[in-house]
């Protein structure tokens, strides 16, 4: 009997049709895919695009999404995914609106990205953006005493790393983290068992490692230079996972990063850190934005419930 396979998601299908080879290719691909996903935005109270993050260069900003109703609202600082090289608040606009629809004041951060701005700039932008969001949340009806961090993929990595860095910062108190199919240990990146998928052509399978190297190399530099960074918790937050706040870790079984999620959950269990580890059968990387999968909304609802319990 042959091994069961997972269905190919639309993003993979787009990549098959035009396999990206450069950072610009990846940016164009994700921008196009994001446009497909952002139709039918849920209603919110107000939307403030590209609000400058005080203290950082003008290219660092945040889309501020205000819930309906009267505050004060709990706050979610969201860090988008895209392999540290692509993505934006625009590609993740609907996801941010979903959390605002659920009653959260969302700061959807547009941090600088590699290769123009390699590590540590994206990480530092995110840390400073969280501090800024805590300072200005009340201007948008938010309650900075009820603040959470969240992000997907590269944003999951940055969320965990930033939460650890701010664990003892008196200016901000992060009460919970949403860590959505993130990278938590760079030392094991690329060693995960490939997830079988239906009808993936050989050229697509061969492109995977090249795309991984494009992202990691852009963020951390050539392999010879990155080895010294792998144990840095700003890069591999699993190195200081005991400093994480209560965390919701979610990943699909059709995602190669499912092992990263599993190991982080095991590490948090050993450290006695409050967490929730959710494995979603058959879901690919990026599925929380793919609302044609019912599991996307189900997972968002579960994340909201987790936040509500920790930020009430």
Residue 221 predicted with pLDDT over 90: yes
Cα–Cα distance measured from residue 312 to residue 307, given in angstroms and rounded to the nearest whole number: 8
Fold of domain 10-311: Rossmann fold (3.40.50)
DSSP class of residue 7 equals P
Tell me which residue of 217, 102, 301, 96 sits closest to 110, measured CA to CA: 96
CB 154 within 8 A of CB 223: no
The predicted pLDDT at position 4 comes to 39
CB 172 within 8 A of CB 144: yes
pLDDT (tens digit per residue) in 245-300: 999 999 999 999 999 999 999 999 999 999 999 999 999 999 999 999 999 999 99
Confidence of residue 206 (pLDDT cuts 50, 70, 90): low
CA distances from 138 to 132, 145, 245 (A): 11, 10, 22
Residue 190 predicted with pLDDT over 60: yes
The predicted pLDDT at position 95 comes to 98
The predicted pLDDT at position 307 comes to 98
Confidence of residue 125 (pLDDT cuts 50, 70, 90): very high
Q: Domain map of the chain by residue range?
A: 10-311
- Strand spans (E) along 11-67: 46-52, 61-66
CB 178 within 8 A of CB 157: no
Tell me which residue of 181, 175, 176 sits closest to 157, measured CA to CA: 181
Tell me the β-bridge partners of 178: 150, 248
CB 242 within 8 A of CB 271: yes
CB 60 within 8 A of CB 125: yes
Q: Mark out the alpha helices in 147-293 (DSSP H runs).
A: 154-165, 202-220, 223-226, 258-271
Tell me which residue of 180, 165, 178 sits closest to 241, measured CA to CA: 165
Cα–Cα distance measured from residue 162 to residue 231, given in angstroms and rounded to the nearest whole number: 15
- Which tops the pLDDT comparison, 71 or 84? 84
- Strand spans (E) along 19-116: 46-52, 61-66, 73-79, 105-110
Cα–Cα distance measured from residue 12 to residue 246, given in angstroms and rounded to the nearest whole number: 32
Write the CB contacts of 246 (distance below 8 Å, at least 6 apart in sequence): 175, 176, 177, 273, 274, 275, 310
Helix (H) or strand (E) holding 143: strand 142-152
DSSP class of residue 282 equals T
The predicted pLDDT at position 3 comes to 39
Phi/psi for 206 (5° steps) reads -70, -30
Residue 1 predicted with pLDDT over 50: no
Residue 199 predicted with pLDDT over 50: no
The predicted pLDDT at position 15 comes to 59
Tell me which residue of 147, 163, 145, 121 sits closest to 249, measured CA to CA: 163
The reply to whether the predicted model has a pTM over 0.85 is: yes
CA distances from 15 to 22, 88, 174, 208, 283 (A): 12, 19, 36, 10, 17
Q: Give the sign of the dihedral formed by CA 26, CA 193, CA 158, CA 223.
A: negative
Tally Cβ neighbours within 10 Å of residue 168.
7
pLDDT (tens digit per residue) in 4-22: 344 556 666 655 566 888 9
Tell me the β-bridge partners of 197: 6
Residue 140 predicted with pLDDT over 90: yes
Write the CB contacts of 51 (distance below 8 Å, at least 6 apart in sequence): 61, 62, 63, 64
């Amino acid at each position: 009997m042959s091994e069961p396979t997972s269905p190919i998601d639309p993003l993979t299908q787009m990549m098959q049709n035009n396999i990206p080879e450069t950072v610009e290719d990846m940016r164009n691909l994700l921008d196009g895919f994001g446009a497909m996903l952002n139709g039918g935005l849920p209603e919110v109270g107000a939307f403030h695009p590209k609000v400058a993050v005080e203290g950082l260069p003008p290219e660092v900003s945040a889309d501020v999404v205000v819930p309906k109703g009267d505050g004060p609202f709990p706050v979610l600082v969201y860090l988008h995914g895209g392999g540290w090289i692509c993505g934006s608040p625009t590609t993740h606009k609907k996801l941010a609106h979903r959390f605002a629809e659920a009653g959260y004041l969302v700061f959807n951060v547009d941090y600088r990205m590699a290769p123009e701005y390699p590590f540590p700039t994206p990480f530092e932008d995110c840390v400073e953006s969280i501090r800024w969001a805590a300072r200005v949340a009340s201007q948008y009806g938010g309650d900075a005493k009820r603040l959470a961090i969240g992000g997907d993929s590269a944003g999951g990595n940055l969320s965990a790393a930033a939460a650890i860095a701010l664990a003892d910062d008196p200016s901000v108190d992060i009460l919970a983290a949403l860590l959505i199919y993130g990278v938590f240990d760079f030392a094991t990146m690329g060693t995960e068992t490939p997830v079988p998928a239906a009808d993936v052509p050989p050229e697509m399978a061969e492109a995977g490692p090249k795309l991984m190297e494009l992202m990691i190399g852009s963020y951390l530099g050539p392999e010879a230079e990155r080895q010294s960074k792998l144990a840095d918790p700003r890069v591999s937050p699993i190195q200081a996972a005991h400093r994480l706040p209560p965390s919701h870790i979610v990943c699909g079984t059709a995602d190669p990063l499912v092992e990263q999620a599993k190991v982080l959950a095991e590490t948090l269990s050993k450290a006695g850190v409050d967490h929730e580890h959710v494995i979603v059968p058959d879901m690919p990387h990026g599925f929380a934005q793919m609302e044609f999968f019912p599991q996307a909304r189900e997972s968002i609802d579960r994340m909201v419930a987790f936040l509500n319990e920790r930020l009430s």
